[in-house]
Structure 1
């Protein structure tokens, strides 16, 4: 196996591994092969390594592992951002340097489209990184507290032990940023910032910009490979593969873009699903937990002043009725797909 095939195999394995780590913990994948592999790497393998460490190193390895994992997963750092920037910058440089047989035929509009396509990910990343996600402070607490009402299903008035004020509905305290964020979605390691009410539109732009760069790369290089492939070969796939191996530098960028676009597109589809459902990434976990309690027949429903409220069985008033399905529960934050989407761009 020559270097190109090893390189291709490495890229494919890394892409699949990243996809499993990122999406394997979602409840929809928990009972699938992806979920099982995710638990293999994140639960079973660390447990086995810990046992080996206790036996042979008396736990010293676990100490260093906890320090490293605490830095990677529970502290703000720019390692993933640097990885992203290095990856796209190296690919762009290789395209411009090794693709001169392709770019020599470009016209002004071609170069303009490439310049825009290349610039957007850098601009959107910078904007998303340094934008305010909606940090709740003592100065803006009053305004944040009336932005969304409590639904008394997944959000109740509750004092944040760190910030020492009542957390506004749909907000959450981010332990990495050490602050409460309005309409908290998640802390994104790709932008080294929280995604919340004020900057989720920039996060969408970041995903769109990255995806369009990958698709632009696939289209430009794919068209070139289609022109140079040997159409005399019997198999269409073989002729494509031959073109990729003959144009190794451009072929590598084409394959990296192809694999990466699947991951970015999956991210984007999931975010659109959340918009359709009318909740955030953080809220989706709360709704999933609520659904499990409903399946266990532990949630009762009652109305006060026309407002639907949920309680546990032990706290249910006499007029409460058993909730049989999550479909019976009203999501007051879901105003329909179009209005949900508008609220992202005009919070």
Structure 2
């Protein structure tokens, strides 16, 4: 019984740590222990580790750790790719080792041994495609085509030159400091892929997220069917009700069935929980990026618009405050007016509330079908793209 409670506690702690690490910065967790645990995992623990290294081994050891951090986080490296391959390989290995001996079973046929291997193989192929495909590198040879493909909106994108590449910077592009290149329709740099997500490989990235979400759901359902098949084959419910006198109701059977599952199939249960959690997270990531693609927006542009609207709001509030101050000074220099009643001043609208903020107008959003077509068939992959010539100046 102690082992069962230990497994339950282990599962709850694992679930809490995974949710805190991946979702702790979400607004729904603001001010909760989940947010504080996320801060500790992503920042606080590493800061304490640096202090410990510096205290015990000295400043040279601390500098060595920081140099390793710069190498892993600020330069292209395959660390996260290796971790991904290790996760998917270890998960599939434990599923094979713990569950394939029950296939074929009551609910699953032997074909699932081969379909599962095929599904994992397709997932790895999509991972490699996303990792090693060109995200849409902007170079001197194609910059003129990208300049015509994505016109400046003169709001968040204006005509300028990349200070590093020394070429004109097309709208929607960004210079990635990690990869040291300009990427067209830049979305973000993905550490898992060791590659940027841009104009040419967003389709592979979306396919990767969707396929791995479905893969995790498939694995969780398959494990659930294996356990359900074992319940049926071993006639667990029959034995509990006939030989042990347990009542034939869900409330009576559930604790005994759960205890039997935790003692006999704890590995499958932990794998199921892990796959369900990962599938939910992948579904959230896929939904977020799919919504961006349907509106022809990128993660980079989302942050740019937030910064621009925030700057507009502060600028307008400053203008309104300056106008109110000017009116107050001029009122003081003129004849004294009848003082405004406290009731009227309480209900009077603040002048700051009248400040207007420029609404977000995405000129690149050309409709649902056109946006999806642009993601699935990027502009730079079409024959017309290479035939486009820049207009004479």
Tell me whether 1:340 sits opposite 2:342 in the alignment. no
Which of 146, 149, 156 is the equivalent residue of 1:147?
149
* Residue of structure 1 equivalent to 2:261: 243
Which of 259, 265, 275 is the equivalent residue of 2:293?
275
After superposition, residues 1-347 of structure 1 pair within 5 angstroms as 13=13, 16-25=16-25, 28=27, 31-33=30-32, 34-43=34-43, 59-60=59-60, 62-105=62-105, 107=109, 109-229=111-231, 230-231=236-237, 232=240, 234=252, 236=254, 239-240=257-258, 242-298=260-316, 324-325=356-357, 328-347=359-378
Q: What is the CA–CA distance in structure 2 between the aligned matches of 1:168 and 1:30, rounded to whole Å?
A: 38
Q: What is the CA–CA distance in structure 1 between the aligned matches of 2:150 and 2:189, rounded to whole Å?
A: 21
Q: What is the CA–CA distance in structure 1 between the aligned matches of 2:256 and 2:375, rounded to whole Å?
A: 45
- Cα deviations across residues 210-268 of structure 1 (Å, max 9, x unaligned)? 11211111011111223334445725476346424412333332222122222222211
Deviating more after overlay: 270-279 vs 9-18: 9-18
* Residue of structure 2 equivalent to 1:305: none
- Give the CA deviation at 1:277: 4.5
Deviating more after overlay: 107-116 vs 41-50: 41-50
- Cα deviations across residues 61-90 of structure 1 (Å, max 9, x unaligned)? 542342232122212111211111112112
Q: What is the CA–CA distance in structure 2 between the aligned matches of 1:84 and 1:332, rounded to whole Å?
A: 37
Q: Is the 8 A contact 2:209 2:286 kept in 1?
A: yes
Structure number with bigger Rg: 2
How has the CA–CA distance of structure 1 residues 50 and 120 changed in structure 2, closer, same or farther, with 3 Å as cutoff?
Answer: closer
Q: What is the CA–CA distance in structure 1 between the aligned matches of 2:127 and 2:180, rounded to whole Å?
A: 22
How has the CA–CA distance of structure 1 residues 138 and 147 changed in structure 2, closer, same or farther, with 3 Å as cutoff?
Answer: same
Q: What is the CA–CA distance in structure 2 between the aligned matches of 1:202 and 1:62, rounded to whole Å?
A: 39
Q: What is the CA–CA distance in structure 2 between the aligned matches of 1:30 and 1:325, rounded to whole Å?
A: 28
Q: Which ranges of structure 2 fall in alignment gaps of 5 or more residues?
A: 241-245, 247-251, 323-353, 379-393
Q: Which ranges of structure 1 fall in alignment gaps of 5 or more residues?
A: 301-312, 314-321
- Give the CA deviation at 1:298: 4.0
> Greater share of strand residues, 1 or 2?
1
Q: What is the CA–CA distance in structure 2 between the aligned matches of 1:173 and 1:159, rounded to whole Å?
A: 11
Q: What is the CA–CA distance in structure 2 between the aligned matches of 1:72 and 1:89, rounded to whole Å?
A: 22
TM-score (norm 2): 0.71
- Give the CA deviation at 1:152: 1.4
Q: Is the 8 A contact 1:297 1:323 kept in 2?
A: no
Deviating more after overlay: 205-214 vs 227-236: 227-236
Q: Is the 8 A contact 1:172 1:180 kept in 2?
A: yes
Q: What is the CA–CA distance in structure 1 between the aligned matches of 2:60 and 2:8, rounded to whole Å?
A: 36
The number of equivalent residue pairs is 325
How has the CA–CA distance of structure 1 residues 112 and 49 changed in structure 2, closer, same or farther, with 3 Å as cutoff?
Answer: closer
